């Protein structure tokens, strides 16, 4: 396909990010953060924005409120060249917001969901024939409106001729109500991190967790932070090391940036190792800028960063 089209369906919110915090907050006490950013949030939107920055024709499907945060999100997505034609605005509802307290390579989040639960299967353009090549869904547990229909969403997308990917993210309730045996056969690329996979399967080890999901997998792209990523596809199983980052800002959106790099290569038909390496590289780039999208200004800037930090000549133009 000469001009592959990506459809991202998911949650939308703004991130209020606090960096260089003196200590972890305690009840009745006040702490100081030396830096603050307000930026485009949500795993789905970061993945979409960074995919567009990599040159992928990207459309977003989601729901926002008719408020300032909703306007902010639309402006940011449009600046990133993401099509917003399938974003719905709801009167009387508030757009979601996440307070991100960033501590080196980890963080604590508090999220107000807002309209995140308003997206439903009826809003997602997965009818056949489709103009999109690939459907990506993130943050399953924050989106009650699609949670119960997630297997059907992927089933319809596959029937329409699309490839599919899922990054379920963390379950705030820690109930992990996801029937992976029913859903994963319709997911071409399953993209959890280690902690999420362990929690989902309730396994005592990573090896045991992978064995639990293996019968239902097409491709597993497992994010392992500083240890890189692991891929499983058919009889192939490999680990690709992470890229060391010489200039670290924050880890917000690193996993979503991994998704963008991996799916870009996957849509082009690249082999698993190349997809994993691209995911690792984009995840590393993400940590050199603020808020998940700060390092993804445009393709030229991304190429320059790759050359400056890792000495790799990679043209994305």
What confidence score (pLDDT) does residue 3 get? 65
Q: Is 192 exposed, middle or buried (0-12, 13-18, 19+ CB in 10 A)?
A: buried
Average pLDDT over residues 279-300: 89
Instruction: Determine the Cα–Cα distance for residues 201 and 3; give it in Å rounded to an integer.
Output: 37
Instruction: Determine the Cα–Cα distance for residues 173 and 178; give it in Å rounded to an integer.
Output: 12
- Cα distances (angstroms) measured from residue 263 to each of 79, 135, 255, 266, 274: 21, 10, 12, 5, 11
Indicate the angle between helix axes 206-213 and 194-201, nearest 10 degrees.
70
Q: What is the pLDDT of residues 4-22, one digit of tens each?
A: 799 999 999 999 989 888 8
What confidence score (pLDDT) does residue 108 get? 84
Domains plus CATH for the chain? 5-22+35-310 (3.40.1190.20)
Least confident of 137-151, 161-175, 188-202, 298-312: 298-312
Average pLDDT over residues 147-162: 97
Instruction: Determine the Cα–Cα distance for residues 85 and 93; give it in Å rounded to an integer.
Output: 19
Indicate if the pLDDT at residue 104 is higher than 90.
Answer: no
Spatial contact of 133 and 163, defined as CB atoms under 8 Å apart: yes
Q: What is the pLDDT of residues 38-93, one digit of tens each?
A: 989 999 999 999 999 999 999 999 999 999 999 999 999 999 999 999 999 999 99
What confidence score (pLDDT) does residue 294 get? 86
Least confident of 21-30, 114-123, 280-289: 21-30
What confidence score (pLDDT) does residue 295 get? 87
Spatial contact of 292 and 253, defined as CB atoms under 8 Å apart: yes
Element (H, E) at 219: strand 219-223
What confidence score (pLDDT) does residue 93 get? 95
Spatial contact of 291 and 50, defined as CB atoms under 8 Å apart: no
Indicate if the pLDDT at residue 263 is higher than 60.
Answer: yes
pTM metric for this prediction:
0.92
């Amino acid at each position: 396909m000469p001009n592959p089209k990506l459809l991202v369906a998911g949650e939308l919110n703004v991130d209020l990010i606090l960096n260089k915090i003196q200590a972890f907050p305690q009840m009745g006490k006040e702490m100081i953060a030396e830096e603050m950013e307000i930026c485009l949030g949500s795993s789905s939107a970061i993945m979409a924005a960074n995919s567009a920055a990599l040159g992928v024709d990207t459309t977003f499907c989601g729901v926002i409120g008719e408020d300032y945060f909703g306007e902010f999100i639309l402006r940011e997505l449009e600046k990133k060249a993401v099509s917003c034609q399938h974003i719905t605005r709801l009167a009387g509802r508030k757009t979601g917001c996440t307070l991100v307290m960033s501590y080196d390579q980890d963080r604590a989040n508090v999220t107000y969901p807002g309209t995140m639960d308003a997206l439903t299967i009826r809003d997602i353009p997965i009818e056949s024939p489709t103009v999109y090549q690939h459907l990506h869904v993130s943050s399953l547990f924050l989106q009650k409106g699609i949670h119960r229909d997630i297997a059907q969403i992927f089933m319809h997308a596959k029937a329409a001729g699309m490839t599919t990917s899922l990054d379920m993210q963390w379950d705030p309730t820690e109930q992990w109500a996801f029937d992976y045996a029913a859903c994963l056969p319709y997911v071409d690329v399953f993209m959890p991190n280690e902690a999420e996979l362990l929690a989902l399967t309730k396994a005592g080890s990573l090896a045991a967790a992978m064995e639990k999901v293996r019968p239902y997998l097409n491709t597993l792209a497992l994010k392992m932070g500083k240890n890189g990523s692991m891929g499983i596809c058919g009889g192939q199983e490999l680990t690709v090391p992470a890229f060391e980052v010489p200039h670290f800002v924050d880890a917000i959106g690193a996993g979503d940036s991994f998704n963008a790099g991996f799916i870009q290569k996957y849509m082009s038909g690249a082999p698993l190792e190349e997809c994993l390496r691209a995911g690792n590289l984009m995840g590393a780039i993400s940590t050199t800028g603020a808020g998940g999208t700060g390092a993804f200004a445009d393709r030229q800037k991304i190429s320059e960063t790759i050359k400056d930090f890792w000495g790799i000549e990679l043209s994305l133009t």
